[in-house]
Structure 1
Amino acid sequence: MKRDFLRKRTVLATIACTTFVSLALPSVEAATLDEYTLDNVVVTASKIEQNAFKAPANINVVTREMLEKNHYTNLTDVLRDVPGVTIQNYGNGGGNYTSNSIYINGTKNIVVLIDGMRVNTNGSTFSKFNASEVVDMDSIERIEILKGSASTLYGSDASGGVINIITRKVAAGDNKTSLEITGGSFGKEQYSLLNTGRTDDNVYWMLAAQKDISGDFKDGRGNTIQNKVNANDFNFKIGKDFDEDTSLIFTYESYQSDYLRPKNGGLHETQISEGEKDQRRLSILSTNRISERAVNQISLYQNKNYLNDNYNDSMNVWLMDLETSGVSDQVTYTTENHTLVGGFDFYQDKIKNYSSTSYGYTDAWRDRTITNRAFYLQDAWHMNDEWTLTTGIRTDNHSVYGRHNTPSVVLGYEANDNTNYYMSYKEFFVSPNQYQLYSSYGSLDLEPETGKTIEFGVNHKFDKTFTGSFNIFKRKAENMIGFNSDTYKYYNVGEESARGWDIQFTKQLNDNFSANVGYTHLYIDPENAYSNPNQNGYLPRGAWNLGLKYEKDQFDMQLNGRGIIDREGRKGKNIADEFTSFWIWDAAINYQFEDNAKAFIRVNNIFDKFYTDQCYDMDPDGSWYSAPGRNFQVGVQYSF
């Protein structure tokens, strides 16, 4: 009965929000909302530069302006405000947990890129990428979130989508330095430096450094949760434009932290875990225009991830030393009606050392390596002014599972300048990682997950200030990998059937106000008779994303709300109301008191809600990984 009521309330809220936006204040022709009208240029959808509004895919763009005005602490906070993305963090979710997960369209099989190069950590069954460790927002130009399978272009593990972080470009005359100091609740301190420059002979650089400190926090019920993070982040990029056709870029990134966290949940936990992290990335990107029609890009990268968790307890230590290296060679060739993208990808995932000690039992192994070689080819055929047919094929040669082909077909129809549609069919395969194969919980009998995704979407501009989009998908997969709690082994569960949709509206209300609203619905069939839908209730059936922005002269304000609806929790358990449904509201206020200086304040969890992104015991008195209650950040930024 309660679930039916929530569903009815969600439908009514959808109708109400749609009506609100449709009957909003009269359009202001001179005012547009670039970050919401999809007028940005994107590259992730097809590896071809194209207008986001016209891209035949479900894609969201977080712009530089949005990053600056919202003062997000890390990438996790950014992704919370993107429809279709689900964050499952433990507790504060900062630099002190490694099992945090990102889901797109109900799966965590996603690929994360920085400037088009992979940064996934594939050796562990836990998080493939910890977004909370991306704390340097200053060096990011935009973030493209592609929702839907992208296996043909980005690899077999991109069945859910792709997150592509595009770093800032340094233009001529962009020689400057920015300093920022932030303080706040729960011992929050942040100090950041950004320096950019370009010489007369077109050598350019960007240096970003940041220090983050945080302490114990209180959740929405006033419980004090033990928590400490002392992290250092450093990014350096240097490049040279040899001429208009040739460039070379070298990038080095590092994130190091010492942390303290509750050992098993925070609410009733008295024991603590101390740990340290050391993440480093190196990359080289070469771009060369071969001819008027052809451009070649070659990239090399290496990602190192080290974790030493709970080292204060020799009976329960968790140690991981992982390394991923790769090379990619891609050529883009353009004719009058065709754009071809073809290339070669190679990456190697290596576990140099893994050790997990629990209650005196140690699972230790080292020097396990998996490699994957792939060739891909995509053709975007512009049949006429309205129709585009994009076909692609990828052939992966996996060191354990051999050769697999993943084709894709996307049909785009541009009805006019204000409306476009797309339909797509894509296949994927996801191989087990080293932990699922070689650990004491693993099995060499595992088969890779295989499946297909069908999508449909439409984008429409009602006028210059009002944009809407609707996207729907259905995903079928076989040989899904799960964990058997009786045998303590990973095994192939069987089939998965998932479907969902999202609807988004953005509106410039008048000269000063703009708004956005998005709703996402997801349903994944239960794994068996003993499970609830949506991965045994861990993922919500509904999610809202609301935003309101005000700008006038030197002052602006951002208000963002997100609602989790109908997250059932595990079947047969006493589930707390705070787990199943909740709303969280955040706000940021900026004041530009000089041309090169501004002050800001950000308030998180305005109404001090008690909630969690993820926990195992969901009962009202269980061992919750509760999230921080209401907290503040105040800062000053100065540029010269």
Structure 2
Amino acid sequence: MHKKMIGYLAILNCCLLSVPGLTFATESVPEESFTLDEVIVTAIPLEKYLVTTSVITDKDIEAKGARNLADALEDVPGVNLHHGKKNNNTLDIRGSALSYTKIYIDGVLVDPLAKVSGGDVDLDMFPVSNIAKIEVIKGPAPVSYGTDAIGGMVLITTKNGKNYEGGKVSVVGGSNGTLNGSVSYGGGDEKFNYYINGGSEHTDGFMRNADRKSTYFNTKLNWKFENDATLTFTGGYSDTDKGCLAPIDPANGKPISYKSGFWPGLNNSEFRDWEKSNLSLQYAQKVNSKLDYNVKVYRFTEKNGLWANGADHDPAVTAKGYSTSRWNASYWDSTLNGVELQGNYKLNDLHTLTFGTLYNDIDWKKSNSALSDPYNYSWDSYNNKRYGYYVQDNFLPNEKTTITFGVRRDESEVTDTATVKDSAINPTINVVYRLDNNNTLRTSFGKTCSFPTVDQLYGTSGNPDLKPEKAKSYEMGLKHQFDKSLTGDIAIFKNDIEDLIFRASKSDPYKNVNYAKIRGVELELNKQFTNRLDGFINYTYLDTTGVKDDGTTSMLKYTPRNMFNYGVIYQADKGYKFRLTGHFSSERATWDDGTGHTATVKSTYPTLSSYHVMDLQIKRQINENQDWYITVANIFDKEYQDELFYPAAGRTVMVGADYKF
């Protein structure tokens, strides 16, 4: 498939370059523009860039009854969600794990801990009540977002008071002692608007020690000045306590222990005071008809403590420096300070340059205590500096064609007792050609580079000699409008990763292995059957290969070869709306060789079985200010494993209501 893919891309590019008018001609082209908080930006908008991007609006979020980011993303083609032992909802995008994915909120990178320490991001910790739009980029992204996201990007735009005036109260409760509530209020005028949002969440969880409680607060303030400029302030804070799931032996249903890991043999652990905060200030101005720019300064903090009760341990596993008679604790703190400058300059009707630079300074520290004493510890401190420089040309040779070409240089400096420096120069190119009103072709190529994290370099299993992971990404796609009621999209993609960073178990050191290869196809159809009935279906085929520590190859961990999502939405009388969706995933590899868990588990489990689940939501709009809904997830109570030894939730029922004022 590799040679065919290259051939297809070459043929498509040759065809595009031979199209009449696709030269540096003088044909006049209307200016492409979009609105960023009232300031017109002349750079090419993301929806025109047309890599494979899935867009989820606030209306989609409400229609799904989504409570968090994981719920909002569950129908996106190419996205595979699964629940892990840290009681976190994580995802793979086209076979690449979440650690290879960047998440932005209003243009600011969040969760730097994932890129610095290798920690797991939990999508459940992103509430959606203040989200206006989510964009999932699955192809080579514009260089302004960085070229260190091998898997893709999730771009979140929050609500502002101008478009979301008034207040809203939401309450939802149901299975497993779940009770969530949020309140928001927005308002303002052309010169100033504001939006504030806060809430709390609680659930006992569907497994032992899977409880969670969280509080959060977000705000967004916008000022518009007379000189075509805006000032935007965003801020947020959350505090979460949650237990970590207990692994279950599928043969007998009993809890098991691991021989390896951070605290091998401890069966009861939890995160306490997982605090996150983000502050950002952005100034944007249109200088004249040719030039605009924006400056962002931001700060992101994250800290948590992992606690484990030594009294609840498996005596078959020898203690390794921790107490078996009291609680043990380990702490992580991370602070990111950053500044970015981006500008757009319109050279002429054909070319618009986007250029920029950024500087990130990340301090990361972890507790260092031989006895893991929660009240007597010292810190191991590290620093990671990141620099980025990029330029991109948005070329509009004619009304049918858009070409973007960009190049970016990234530098990373990680300091412990010594400094490890890495750098990379990566290009991206995207060509979009509108054949006619119903068909749009696209092709893209990009290089990406993921630098080793602090934990991979200097952690317990660290290796300061690690090389960056490098990847080449290719994509070709066609978007087709069959008629006014039916649209379709197909994308063929591949991703070749070199010097993959890997460790066989948590007790083994990290090292670079040869490669990982990802090939795939995405298909998507959306159909409006009648004024009352809509439907969708999407399918993803993945062919992934990774090299294990012993040199053998296998499908990448937890990546299914086949994924289906489908759904129908029916608008009935008296304000009722019915939404039925389904999700299918084929077998997934685990890379389990039986060495990581205790002898109580007699068998190895190289794969997890396929599963098919269905969800139902019934919603009634009483009037323009009130609605209620019932959501039933996993209607038929299907039993399956999200990850090895971690069963998925069974049938859950949630009842919620919204009131606007």
TM-score band, normalised by shorter chain: 0.7 to 0.9
Q: How many residues align?
A: 574
Which secondary structure state, in structure 1, belongs to the residue aligned with residue 345 of structure 2? strand
2:520 touches 2:540 (CA, 8 Å); kept in 1?
A: yes
Distance, in Å, in 2 between the alignment partners of 1:167 and 1:212 is: 20
- Give the match for residue 51 of structure 2: 57
Alignment of structure 1 residues 297-376 onto 2, 5 Å: 297-310=294-307, 312-313=309-310, 315=323, 316-334=328-346, 335-355=348-368, 366-376=380-390
1:282 to 275, 279, 283: 279
Alignment check: 8 A CA contact 1:568 1:575 kept: no
Q: Which whole-Å CA distance do the structure 2 matches of 1:320 and 1:406 have between them?
A: 32
Q: 1:204 aligns to what?
A: 193
The aligned counterpart of 2:119 is 126
* Deviation at residue 475 of structure 1 after TM alignment: 1.5
Q: 1:404 aligns with which of 399, 424, 441?
A: 424
**1:358 and 1:544 mapped to 2: Cα distance?**
48
Distance 1:259 1:192, change over 3 A: same
CA distance 1:455–1:322, shift in 2 (3 Å): same
**Structure 1 residues 635, 355: closer, same or farther in 2, change over 3 A?**
farther
Does residue 248 (structure 1) correspond to residue 231 (structure 2)? The answer is yes
Matches of 2:148 and 2:248, distance apart in 1? 30
- Which whole-Å deviations, capped at 9, do the CAs of 1:332-360 have from their partners, x for residues lacking one? 22331122211011112221334587999
| 1:317 and 1:358 in contact (8 A); partners too | no
Partners in 2 of 1:486 and 1:132 — Cα distance? 25
The AA in structure 1 aligned to 2:335 is E
CA shift at 1:490, angstroms?
A: 0.4
Letter in 2 for 1:125: G
Cα distance change on mapping 1:411 and 1:262 into 2, 3 Å = closer
- Please, which of 483, 489, 497 is the counterpart of residue 517 of structure 2? 497
The aligned amino acid for 1:132 is: D
Structure 2 residue aligned with 1:102: 91
Shift, 1:580, TM fit: 2.0
Aligned residue among 252, 255, 259 for 1:269: 255
Report the equivalent of 1:12: none
Specify the code of the residue in structure 1 equivalent to 2:285: N
Deviations 1:98-140 (A, max 9, x none): 5x5332121131111001110132222232x3211002x2211
Cα drift, residue 149 of structure 1: 3.0
Alignment of 1:412-451 (within 5 A): 412-451=432-471
Superposition deviation, residue 572 in structure 1: 6.3
Once the two structures are superposed, what CA deviation does each residue of 1:587-611 show, in whole Å capped at 9, x if it has no partner?
2221111221111111111111112
For residues 287-341 of structure 1, what are the alpha-carbon distances to aligned partners after superposition, in whole Å with 9 as ceiling and x for unaligned?
Answer: 1111112221111121111111125446453321112221111012233112221
Cα drift, residue 584 of structure 1: 1.7
Q: Deviations over 1:391-439 (max 9, x none)?
A: 1100112223343210112121110121111111211111100000011
Q: Whole-Å Cα distance in 2 between the matches of residues 42 and 612 of structure 1?
A: 44
Match of 2:183 in 1: 193
Question: What is the DSSP-based 3-state SS (H/G/I as helix, E as strand, rest coil) of the residue aligned with 1:186?
Answer: helix
Structure 1 segments, 4+ long, off by >6 Å, are 40-43, 356-364, 575-578
Cα-to-partner distance string for 1:211-240 (whole Å, 9 max, x where unaligned) = 1111142xxxxxx53322121011111221
**Structure-1 separation of matches of 2:69 and 2:371:** 31
Contact 2:461 2:506 in 1 (8 A): no
Whole-Å Cα distance in 2 between the matches of residues 48 and 318 of structure 1? 45
Tell me which amino acid in the other structure corresponds to 2:243. L
TM-score normalised to the size of structure 1?
Answer: 0.84
Give secondary structure in 1 for the equivalent of 2:124.
helix
575 and 147 in structure 1: CA distance in 2 versus 1, 3 angstrom threshold: farther
Cα deviation, residue 254, structure 1: 1.1
Alignment map for 1:448-527 (pairs within 5 Å): 448-485=468-505, 488-527=508-547
Moved more, 201-210 or 113-122: 201-210
Deviation, structure 1 residue 263? 4.7
Q: 2:44·2:394 contact (CA, 8 Å) conserved in 1?
A: no
Paired amino acid for 2:646? Y
User: Structure 2-normalised TM-score?
Assistant: 0.81
Paired with 1:508 and 1:578, the residues of 2 have a C-alpha distance of 38
**Aligned equivalents of 1:110, 1:261: Cα separation in 2:** 23
Contact 2:235 2:278 in 1 (8 A): yes
Which SS does the other structure have where 1:493 is aligned?
strand
**Does 2:549 match 1:560?**
no
Q: Helix, strand or coil: the match of 1:346? A: strand
Contact 2:43 2:353 in 1 (8 A): no
Give the equivalent residue in structure 2 for 1:593: 622
CA contact (8 A) 1:295 1:332 kept: yes
| CA pair 47-321 structure 1, distance change in 2 beyond 3 A | farther
* Separation in structure 2 between the aligned mates of residue 212 and residue 469 of structure 1, nearest angstrom: 37
1:632 aligns with 2:628: no
C-alpha distance in 1 between matches for 2:369 and 2:529: 55
Q: How do 1:147-226 and structure 2 match up within 5 A?
A: 147-150=138-141, 152-171=143-162, 175-199=165-189, 202-217=191-206, 225-226=208-209
Instruction: Give, in angstroms, the shift of residue 531 of structure 1.
Output: 5.0
Cα distance 1:216–1:159, how it changes in 2: closer, same or farther (>3 A)? closer
Any residues of structure 2 matched to 1:33-72 within 5 Å, and which?
48=43, 50=45, 52=47, 54-72=48-66
Higher deviation after alignment, 547-556 or 429-438: 547-556
How far apart, CA to CA, are the structure 2 residues paired with 1:116 and 1:161?
A: 15
Partners of 1:303 and 1:500 lie apart in 2 by: 35
How far apart in 2 are the matches of 1:264 and 1:318?
Answer: 21
- The CA distance in 2 between the partners of 1:181 and 1:488, in whole Å, is 46
Greater displacement, 349-358 / 507-516:
349-358
CA distance in structure 2 between the partners assigned to 1:244 and 1:507 by the alignment: 45
Measure the CA separation in 1 of the matches of 2:578 and 2:34: 26
1:263–1:295 CA distance, 2 compared to 1 (3 A):
same
Instruction: Give deviations 1:520-547, integer Å, cap 9, x for gaps.
Output: 1111224147655322x42111111112
State the alpha-carbon separation in 1 of the partners of residues 202 and 482 from structure 2. Answer: 46
Alpha-carbon offset, residue 148 of structure 1: 2.2
1:278 partner letter: E
1:204/1:283 CA distance change after superposition, 3 Å: same
Unaligned runs of 5+ in 2: 1-32, 257-266, 311-321, 414-419, 595-602
**Greater alpha carbon shift after TM alignment, 180-189 vs 262-271:** 262-271
Select between 305-314 and 142-151 the one with higher mean Cα deviation.
305-314
Write the distance in 1 (CA, Å) between the matches of 2:363 and 2:392: 30
Say if 1:151 and 1:427, in contact at 8 Å, map to a contact too: no
Please say which of residues 522-531 and 466-475 is displaced more in the overlay: 522-531
Q: Helix, strand or coil: the match of 2:154?
A: strand
**Residue ranges of structure 1 left out of the alignment (5+ in a row):** 1-39, 218-223, 616-623
- Identity across matched positions, percent: 26
Do 1:532 and 1:571's aligned partners in 2 also have CA atoms closer than 8 Å?
no
| Distance in 2 of aligned mates of 1:368 and 1:262 | 30
> Conserved in 2, the CA contact under 8 Å of 1:101 and 1:126?
no
252-261 or 370-379, larger mean C-alpha shift: 252-261
RMSD of the alignment, in Å?
2.8
What amino acid is the match of 2:534?
A: S
